[in-house]
Amino acid sequence: MTWKNYDLLETPKSISDSDNMGLQTEQGWYAPKVDRKVLKSLMKRNNTFALMNYGIWLLLLIITALAAISTWGSMSGMLWLIVYSVIHQSATARQHELSHGTPFKTRLLNEVAFHICSFITLSEGNFYRWRHARHHTHTIIVGNDPEIQSPRPPNFLSLFINIFNIKTVIVTMKEFTRRSFGRLDSATIFIPPSEHNKVIWSARLYLFLILIIVGLSLVLQSWLPILLTFGPRILGAPLYAFLHFTQHAGLNEDVMDHRLNTRTIYMNPILQFLYANMNYHVEHHLFPLVPFYNLPKLHELIKDQCPKPKQGLLDAYREIIPTLMKQRNDPNFYLQPELPSA
């Protein structure tokens, strides 16, 4: 699992170097034993699978948006807007997967879908891609990973506020503004110089499109354009926040084993669809070039080498919440998943 920040689509060197994938990775991360041919088959991208999944999601998004628009002004209009917002927020998981370049076999389809989902989530794609690459390269390595969800000791007020993405939206708008003026600040650590102008001009484009949507609302004298574009980032945020927070919360820092800093959870088919199978998160971090639709198969292949998955969200939060409470007084405390015996 060799992750290099300059190419997210690179085939891991360890796959070509090792027949059984039982060796440590080039950077020292643990890698489970997997037959080389089987793994390479799981890494194959499939346009049909991706188009079906994304097509169903897009159809649901259009149907619920039309339902919200046609019933706007009534109680059912607000209910449809909430349903639309929850489905809309699934774009966050899909943008994440597209940043790896894995859903579609055709790279152009990946890029187009990636930038559409990036704007839908107001998470500019070029910036996100490089930041997320650093997260995979240095997963929960303090000082190197820019995506640590819950630094120790946890800030409960900040975590609560961000259930509705309020903090994220405010920070994102500030970052858009700074980057549009050419200020990349700490982002220069993970964004190569050759990409700086692309990130800056993308931020300017996003701000321009945001102003157009705000202007459209003013011209139409209606909140709908804003509610249908920016509103879901808040209205649909709670479900995704509860899903997303389970990935690493309460687990160990500064360890070179994704089984110790990442969590896999069994979920029902509806949540798995909305979350693009990211509940198989240990598997995703171990082999990030395996497309989301093949993660269940990968899970079955390596589950005997990983900690037992949590049996749903409630089961996960039964250990996460008490752990965070303990970390408030003891920042050195963390969960220690039980690893299978060798």
Phi, psi of 95 (to 5 degrees): -60, -40
Q: Which helix (H) or strand (E) holds 33?
A: none
- Render pLDDT for 102-145 as a digit per residue (tens, 0 to 9): 999 999 999 999 999 999 998 999 999 999 999 999 999 999 99
pLDDT at site 21 = 36
pLDDT at site 9 = 38
Altogether, the residues listed in the chain come to a count of 342
Domain limits, the chain: 13-329
- b/e per residue, 64-91, with b = 16+ CB within 10 A? bbebbbeebeeeeeeebbebbbbbbbbb
| Nearest alpha-carbon partner for 12 in 33, 47, 36 | 36
Q: Do 241 and 233 form a contact (C-beta atoms < 8 A)? A: no
Helix (H, G, I), strand (E, B) or coil at 314: helix
- C-alpha 6 chain-centroid distance: 19
Q: Do 253 and 147 form a contact (C-beta atoms < 8 A)? A: no
Q: Which residues of the chain have pLDDT under 70?
A: 1-27, 342
Q: For tokens 């990130």, what's the residue?
A: 199
Alpha carbons 139 and 285: distance in angstroms, whole number: 9
Residue type (1 letter), 341: S
pLDDT at site 170 = 87
CB under 8 A, 24+ apart: contacts of 320-325: 320/245, 320/246, 320/249, 320/250, 323/249, 323/250, 324/150, 324/154, 324/156, 324/249, 324/250
pTM of the model: 0.90
